[in-house]
């Protein structure tokens, strides 16, 4: 314990911990936008920390390499070799001090963002625990590896090379993770870093396979780093690589490849809470009273259709921001993961969004525009509303003079039909939307002359 206290005073341990807390907090604040979702869920908050870790990780590893060069720079290597005290005891105290402080600082940073969520009235659950452990292990293991590199390669260029290499690896891994399809493939090696691009949803977390795979890898890396730090022969250093090799092989076999298997719905935050036929996720429970009032009114309006929907449910699927929205003949789905979120709309806007498509979600993937389908959604919403009105999800279409004139023309053609015919056509359009048939054909069903 005495050696540990000495290393805490004389090494860069406390400076490294301070660097983690200050730089991590600063980078998180810089990268956080007004539309960030992480303040609403503790799990999302810990995930959001993964992005600034690309910078913090590189800085801490560089500082650890510099610390590992201490004996060489002081010229006391031969002196310590002649003492009766085993070298691994002294080096172990150094590793424990620096890695322990960095791990504690990383944990403090995680608890800090969770506290920010709690103070702001967000949703806090135990779902963040599996996400914190890999981050803490990665920080501690990387610091010990940096110490080992500094001790084995005491060259003036070791620090800048380690810093740049770590940042480059983190950046390349983040780029490899940037896929835009549920079936998109993420190389397993890209998940062997503590960096992860934050998802644009507060209902998403990493899968158990990702958490377990990362824990296995970072534990193996930490063991190898420690053995490299205390080894005194080339044979010992070669043997030290075995734990990392075994951990790498096991982790790669565990880690998933498809994005839909990497990011999954947060089973705690995504659990449904209901008010009658209307259900939203626990993380958005504060929006339930308003959504329930509007939802019951919408279901009443849709009840004139044959086989009308009987419930309203928030879409909590993990791939909602990449895949075609869910649809069902029995359920009207609320989209809360794409801007604008349905649960942040005014009651009037939410009512129109739920009535659009006669209660059926769009058939296009997010961030794509099918003008004919938009016309269908406007016409069906207008039928139940009694007049055309702007859809909050499609404001550009409404504000475009060219598109607006085409919409008004289609509306006049639709309203020229007898009331019974209008209802029949809306019902037919709903059936076609449920199976995502061609949008132009659906539009023709609504506006074609008898």
Q: What is the pLDDT of residue 284?
A: 94
Cβ-based neighbour number of residue 387 at 10 Å: 9
Instruction: State pTM to two decimals.
Output: 0.88
| Cross-strand partners of 204 | 265
What pLDDT is recorded for position 10? 67
Residue 162 to residues 245, 358, 395, Cα–Cα distance (Å)? 21, 58, 49
The DSSP bridge partners found for residue 272 are 281
Q: Please, which contacts does 23-29 make with residues 24 or more away whose CB atoms are closer than 8 Å?
A: 23/52, 23/55, 23/56, 23/59, 24/49, 24/52, 24/53, 24/56, 24/106, 24/109, 25/109, 25/112, 27/51, 27/52, 27/55, 27/56, 28/52, 28/113
pLDDT at 8: 58
pLDDT confidence of residue 164: 92
List, in sequence order, every residue forming a beta bridge with 41; answer none if it has no partner: 123
Q: Which residues of 28-39 are buried (b: 16+ CB within 10 A; e: fewer)?
A: beeeeeeebbbb
Q: What is the pLDDT of residue 208?
A: 95
The confidence score (pLDDT) of residue 191 equals: 93
- Write b or e for each residue in 333-371: b if 16 or more Cβ atoms lie within 10 A of its Cβ, otherwise e: bbbbbbeebbbebeeebbbbbbbbbbbbbbbeebeeebb
Question: In this predicted structure, what is the pLDDT of residue 78?
Answer: 44
Contact 335, 325 (CB under 8 A): yes
**What local confidence, expressed as pLDDT, does residue 79 receive?**
39
311-315: strand order across its sheet: 272-275, 278-281, 311-315, 331-335
> What is the structure's pLDDT at 450?
63
41, 54, 314: which is closest to 199 by C-alpha?
Answer: 41
Predicted local distance difference test score (pLDDT) of residue 84: 47
Structure tokens at 391: 């859809």
Residue given tokens 């600063």 in the structure block: 26
| pLDDT values of the chain reduced to their tens digit, one per residue, 450 residues | 555 566 656 667 788 889 999 999 998 888 887 778 888 899 999 999 988 888 888 999 998 898 888 655 544 444 345 454 555 566 777 888 888 899 999 999 999 999 999 999 999 999 999 999 999 999 999 999 999 998 888 888 989 999 999 999 999 998 898 888 888 899 999 999 988 877 778 899 999 999 999 999 999 999 999 999 888 888 888 999 999 999 999 999 999 989 999 999 999 999 999 999 999 999 999 999 999 999 999 999 999 999 999 999 999 999 888 888 999 999 999 999 888 889 999 999 999 999 999 999 999 888 788 889 999 999 999 999 999 999 998 888 888 888 889 999 999 999 999 999 999 999 999 999 999 999 999 999 998 866
Residue 385 confidence (pLDDT): 93
Asked whether 265 and 337 are in contact (CB, 8 A), the reply is no
Q: What is the pLDDT of residue 76?
A: 43
What pLDDT is stored for residue 1 in this prediction?
A: 58
- Tally: H helices and E strands in the chain: 19, 6
pLDDT of residue 199: 76
């Amino acid at each position: 314990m005495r050696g540990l206290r000495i290393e805490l005073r004389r090494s860069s341990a406390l400076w490294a911990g301070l660097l983690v807390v200050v730089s991590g907090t600063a980078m998180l604040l810089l990268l956080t936008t007004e539309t960030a979702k992480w303040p609403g869920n503790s799990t999302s908050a810990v995930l959001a920390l993964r992005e600034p870790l690309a910078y913090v990780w590189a800085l801490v590893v560089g500082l650890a390499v510099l610390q590992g060069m201490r004996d060489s720079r002081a010229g006391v290597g031969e002196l310590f070799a002649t003492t009766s005290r085993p070298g691994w005891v002294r080096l172990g105290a150094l590793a424990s001090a620096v890695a322990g402080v960095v791990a504690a600082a990383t944990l403090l940073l995680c608890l800090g963002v969770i506290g920010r969520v709690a103070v702001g009235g967000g949703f806090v659950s135990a779902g963040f625990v599996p996400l914190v452990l890999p981050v803490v292990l990665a920080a501690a293991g990387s610091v010990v590896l940096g110490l080992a590199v500094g001790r084995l390669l005491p060259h003036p260029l070791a620090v800048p090379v380690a810093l740049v290499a770590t940042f480059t690896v983190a950046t390349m891994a983040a780029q490899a993770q940037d896929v835009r399809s549920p079936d998109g493939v993420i190389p397993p090696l890209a998940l062997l870093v503590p960096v992860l691009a934050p998802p644009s949803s507060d209902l998403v977390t990493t899968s158990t396979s990702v958490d377990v795979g990362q824990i296995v890898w970072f534990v193996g890396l930490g063991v190898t780093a420690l053995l490299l730090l205390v080894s005194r022969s080339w044979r010992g250093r070669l043997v030290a690589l075995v734990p990392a090799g075994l951990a790498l092989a096991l982790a790669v076999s565990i880690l998933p490849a498809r994005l839909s298997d990497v990011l999954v719905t947060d089973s705690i935050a995504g659990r449904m809470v209901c008010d009658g036929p209307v259900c939203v996720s626990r993380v958005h429970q504060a929006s339930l009273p308003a959504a329930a009032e509007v939802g019951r009114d919408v279901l009443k309006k849709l009840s004139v259709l044959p086989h009308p929907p009987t419930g309203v449910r928030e879409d909590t699927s993990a791939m909602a921001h990449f895949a075609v929205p869910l649809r069902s003949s029995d359920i009207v789905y609320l989209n809360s993961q794409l801007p604008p979120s349905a649960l942040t709309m005014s009651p009037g806007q939410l009512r129109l969004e739920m009535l659009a498509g006669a209660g059926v979600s769009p058939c296009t993937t997010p961030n794509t525009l099918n003008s004919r389908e938009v016309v269908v959604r406007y016409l069906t919403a207008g039928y139940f509303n009694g007049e055309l009105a702007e859809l909050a999800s499609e404001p550009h279409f409404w504000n475009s003079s060219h598109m607006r004139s085409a919409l008004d023309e289609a509306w006049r053609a639709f309203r020229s039909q007898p009331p019974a015919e209008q209802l029949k056509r809306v019902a037919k359009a709903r059936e076609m939307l449920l199976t995502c048939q061609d949008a132009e054909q659906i539009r023709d069903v609504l506006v074609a002359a008898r």
